[in-house]
Structure 1
Amino acid sequence: MARRTRIAGTVLATALASLCLPLFTSTAEAATRNPVVFVHGLSSSSSSWDDWIADFKADGYQASELFSWSYDWGQSNATTAQQLSAKIQSVLSQTGASKVDLVVHSMGALNSRYYLKNLGGTAHVDDFASAAGVHHGTTTAGWCGWLYTSCREMNTGSAFLTSLNSGDETPGSVSYASYWSNCDDALTPDTTAILNGATNVEVGCVSHNEMNNDHGVYERVRDFIA
């Protein structure tokens, strides 16, 4: 009888341990991963990240780890970079984290990279993931360049881009990845999204506006920042 009791106790203890393991693992992962800051692009807002934020939550992230924000997309990317710096400092203070992961789309790549290169951002960012980033400019920016400073800065060969891309395009100890589509009509040429020194991934034919909604691209970004 005593032997049966010991066996039953062992089985129960093993079962309880197996039930508790996923909870422990999830808690440990949450304690070590970085909060994610999302940066939208031209003519957009924080709501452009709704699909990916839902995907991150479905994969175990908490709302308190995910930060999307809106900015005046017509202003200079240098001005937006200063606002991004303040946003990231706020996130670090709020979460107690030492670094964030940056996930950006389209023009968001330019102000984010300005922050990394010129405003000390490399000390506060662990991973940088760009979807359809306008890293080397696009000729399609000509349609809005007469209206918005940000568009003029996106135009191929602009003084802003020349300065941003001079020297090391991937400074610091940040891990960089850039995801680009071979049929992105908003980026001319679409290879402008290739960032020198980064892990560059062609994701196939995904439209520009779907690059930060597409689930397949999301999975690649999620795995990279993990």
Structure 2
Amino acid sequence: MAMGLVCGQAATAGAGGLDRNPVLLIGGIYADQARLETLRVWLGERGYTAFSMVLLGNPSGTASISDSAQAVADKVADIRQRTGARRVDLVGHSMGGLAQRDYVKFLGGSDSVGTYLDYGTPEQGDDLSTVCSAVSPGCRDMVPGSEFLTRLNADPAVPPGLTAYHLFSESAGAEKNPLPGATNVSLQSFCPGRTVSHGQEPIDGAMQELIDSALRGAPLATSCP
């Protein structure tokens, strides 16, 4: 397994869990592992077999996104071997969404992925990445117009036939740019006036419910708790 990878333990599947793909949660740059764990446990309580990982680098996400994509590939292979599942659902936050998209586009991941979902992901990059681009390959990759993003966003942005979602908060910034080929939905289209910062997204109850409904293949829905 790739060095620098941090993995959560599998959550215990509840009723109906055997009918679902295992889920891999992927954190973003400088990921808050406690918040990622909160989402993993929440999904586990709802019958999912859920795993988590953060991106490569110290702090997490500072390595190149392509290197992190290979770490995603390694983790998916490990989950499939451990669970016997044919496919794994991916849920990437922020830069985690870029790494998982690189995996499904260029590392053969579309054959091993069921539902693809990213949330809070700046699909076209984020100008804020210029602040750390001098010292971090991951930041350089996320600068708008970078070689990495140009390659990643070349048509088609996601492989044809892949069930894909891009969820975002209108309270945040660059994540509002759509992902072509995906279902693009803002949290506030369900919960008008709700303020959810980028960092709060993994622990926001409405975002969690939208993720759950997408993974179940149901119409997107939330009670806006």
Q: For residues 171 and 149 of structure 1, do their structure 2 counterparts lie closer, same or farther at Cα, with a shift above 3 Å needed? A: same
Q: What corresponds to 1:206 in structure 2?
A: 196
Unaligned 5+ segments in structure 1 are 1-25
- What secondary structure is seen at the aligned counterpart in 1 of 2:165? strand
- What secondary structure is seen at the aligned counterpart in 2 of 1:134? coil
In structure 2, how many angstroms separate the alpha carbons of the residues matched to 1:58 and 1:94? 20
Q: What corresponds to 1:223 in structure 2?
A: 213
Question: Given the alignment of the two structures, is residue 67 of structure 1 paired with residue 51 of structure 2, yes or no?
Answer: yes
TM-score (norm 1): 0.81
CA displacement at 1:91 relative to structure 2: 0.2
In structure 2, how many angstroms separate the alpha carbons of the residues matched to 1:190 and 1:41? 12
Q: What root-mean-square deviation, in Å, do the aligned CA atoms of Structure 1 and Structure 2 show?
A: 1.4
Q: Is the 8 A contact 1:122 1:173 kept in 2?
A: no
- Greater shift, 40-49 or 76-85, is seen at 40-49
TM-score (norm 2): 0.82
- What secondary structure is seen at the aligned counterpart in 2 of 1:129? strand
Unaligned 5+ segments in structure 2 are 1-13, 189-194, 217-225
- 1:160 corresponds, among 132, 141, 148, to 148
Q: Is the 8 A contact 2:123 2:175 kept in 1?
A: no
Q: What corresponds to 2:176 in structure 1?
A: 191
- What secondary structure is seen at the aligned counterpart in 1 of 2:196? coil
Question: Given the alignment of the two structures, is residue 119 of structure 1 paired with residue 107 of structure 2, yes or no?
Answer: yes
1:151-178 CA-to-partner distances (Å, cap 9, x unmatched) read 0110111111011000101214321001
Number of corresponding residues: 193
* Equivalent position amino acid for 1:209 in 2: G
Q: What is the aligned-residue identity percentage?
A: 30
Q: Is the 8 A contact 2:122 2:176 kept in 1?
A: no
CA displacement at 1:197 relative to structure 2: 1.2
- 1:39 corresponds, among 26, 34, 44, to 26
- What secondary structure is seen at the aligned counterpart in 2 of 1:209? coil
In structure 2, how many angstroms separate the alpha carbons of the residues matched to 1:118 and 1:217? 28
Task: Return the index of the structure with the highest Cα Rg.
Answer: 1
